[in-house]
Chain A
């Protein structure tokens, strides 16, 4: 409990991060409860196509006469879900591989780090595009593709942390006590290595949301759900008629991603005080 309070005290000092957290909380609440509070189906043709905001519909209608506000609210769910799940998957993969590489070193390290570097080098967005195109776009394939292209940075970080920790005294003590490798890795080193990973993982959510929006914009979104990037893609054909149709979801992405980044930096300050001003 003390730890949490301590964390909060440090986090609170970064006012931007607190603001970001507040915005993020609102977005999360909208994603969680919005569809109940504003039940208009985002795929329903409810009005005249391309009607301007602040008329019958608070944010106007899109190219097929669908409520843009409904799209934003339902899209929040999809964009955040894909962003968070993809980042979680990427973090788990990254930490696992990074831990193995860092803890054992040697050949495993070589092999794993080579593949990490490989994935870091190749154009990740192109790879994501190809993966989604091949397996046809669904929420699952989009999430997987984003996870597949995002884990390497976590892996590299986790490896560095594990290398830094593996020869510390407490680890040697555990070994001397005859603890199994997996126990040392999971119970001893991981908790110590986690703070920077959490920071990178949270920042990854922002990147994942941006990647998802890019994929949807190219028409590689799940056709059954609305996401913010999809809304921009739809609006694009009528950019000359109705610029606001593209502007609204774009600003939404911007604000959300900005909030996540601010929170990530706040976390960084609060969790890794020694890394401040990196």
Chain B
């Protein structure tokens, strides 16, 4: 690793710190804007709450301290990875989130891979057949998918594939109680993943296909393509090995930028399919109005996206050696 790359990584890491700090601050502000605090909720659930009991709880949680002190306490807790306690689920928020994070990551990664593959193939195909009916079909299809609410698409896929055709499971991550393990377990998860990952991916297939197509068309005007064609290379080779490789960069960039957006989509999709990830946790938290948990999810998911972005940035640096880390 060159010193330039190393210093780039260090600098990028340093940039992450203020962002995480900002997220924490935003979270703190939101906590304190919420009507009704932890003491209220706990007291309400206890059933027999006297004002004295509520006051005692306030003291216990430090809710009677001046705001700036509460802020420092809050930050101190975050540094110790203490995101607070979910009074509804009687478990530390962090544990709840960490339990669910892997499922969300699986869903998001599958969706990205699916969206990238299909989007790139569709985009390149459309560009290769620019102006033909294939191009038109892909473009119109992309436009329509682009306008479809992701959760609704999921519901319709359930109707079609789970209810009408009965060929795919309508929800869940595994067939509980089947006692599958090893490869059978993995296959079971993949089986359950097909519908949610497709629902989530389709929107991005449209996005990537459109971007890939226009990026290809731009590159087709460059000299090196003319050269390649002049050399008599088959069009397929020109498109895939010369143009597509270069047209890929904006797609990768966009995929990185859109991680946060993807997470939002996965929340909706998980809700629809009962996928046991963060999204379902959000839905649960909403149903039971578990604000501590919601805020914890916002914090963790933001941090995850920030770090994923960092990762994409670094990857990007390796993908495209032309980028100078300035």
State the A residues within 8 Å of B (CB): 114-115, 118, 120-127, 129-131, 133-136, 206, 210, 213-214, 217-220, 229, 232, 236, 239-240, 243, 246-247, 250, 253-255, 257-258, 261-262, 277-278
How many of B's residues come within 8 Å of A, CB to CB?
50
**What's the Cα separation between A124 and B291 when bound, in Å?**
17
**Set of chain A residues within 8 Å of B283, measured between Cβ atoms:** 218
With contact pairs A129-B286, A130-B294 given, residues A124 and B264 touching in the complex (Cβ less than 8 Å): yes
Complex contact A135–B159 (CB within 8 A)? no
With contact pairs A121-B306, A258-B144 given, residues A232 and B267 touching in the complex (Cβ less than 8 Å): no
**Set of chain B residues within 8 Å of A206, measured between Cβ atoms:** 147
Complex contact A125–B265 (CB within 8 A)? yes
Complex contact B267–A125 (CB within 8 A)? yes
B216 to chain A, nearest CB (A): 11
**Set of chain A residues within 8 Å of B30, measured between Cβ atoms:** 130-131, 134
- Beyond the given pairs A130-B298, A133-B286, 17 more chain A to chain B contacts, judged by CB atoms under 8 angstroms and listed by A's residue number, are A122-B301, A122-B302, A123-B261, A123-B305, A129-B267, A129-B294, A210-B149, A214-B150, A217-B268, A246-B152, A250-B155, A253-B149, A253-B152, A254-B147, A254-B148, A261-B143, A278-B214
With contact pairs A122-B23, A129-B267, A246-B155 given, residues A214 and B163 touching in the complex (Cβ less than 8 Å): no
State the B residues within 8 Å of A (CB): 18-19, 22-23, 30, 33-35, 143-144, 146-152, 155-156, 158-159, 163, 214, 217-218, 257, 260-261, 263-265, 267-268, 271-272, 282-283, 286-287, 289, 291, 294-295, 297-298, 301-302, 305-306, 309
**Set of chain A residues within 8 Å of B23, measured between Cβ atoms:** 118, 122
Complex contact A262–B264 (CB within 8 A)? no
Nearest A residue to B163, CB-CB: A240
- Most interface-central of B33, B152, B282 (chain A CB within 10 A): B152
Complex contact B151–A243 (CB within 8 A)? no
**Set of chain A residues within 8 Å of B150, measured between Cβ atoms:** 214
Nearest B residue to A210, CB-CB: B149
**Set of chain A residues within 8 Å of B286, measured between Cβ atoms:** 129, 133, 218-220
Nearest A residue to B278, CB-CB: A126
Q: What are 27 pairs between A and B in contact, CB < 8 Å?
A: A115-B22, A118-B22, A120-B260, A121-B302, A121-B305, A122-B306, A123-B260, A126-B267, A126-B302, A129-B267, A129-B286, A129-B294, A130-B30, A130-B295, A130-B298, A134-B291, A214-B264, A218-B268, A229-B149, A239-B159, A246-B152, A250-B149, A257-B147, A257-B149, A262-B143, A277-B214, A278-B214
**What's the Cα separation between A84 and B282 when bound, in Å?**
27
Which 4 pairs between the two chains have the least Cβ-Cβ distance?
Answer: A125-B264, A250-B152, A257-B147, A258-B147
Complex contact A217–B151 (CB within 8 A)? yes
Q: Return the contact of A118 from the options B19, B144, B265 (Cβ within 8 A).
A: B19
**What's the Cα separation between A57 and B143 when bound, in Å?**
32
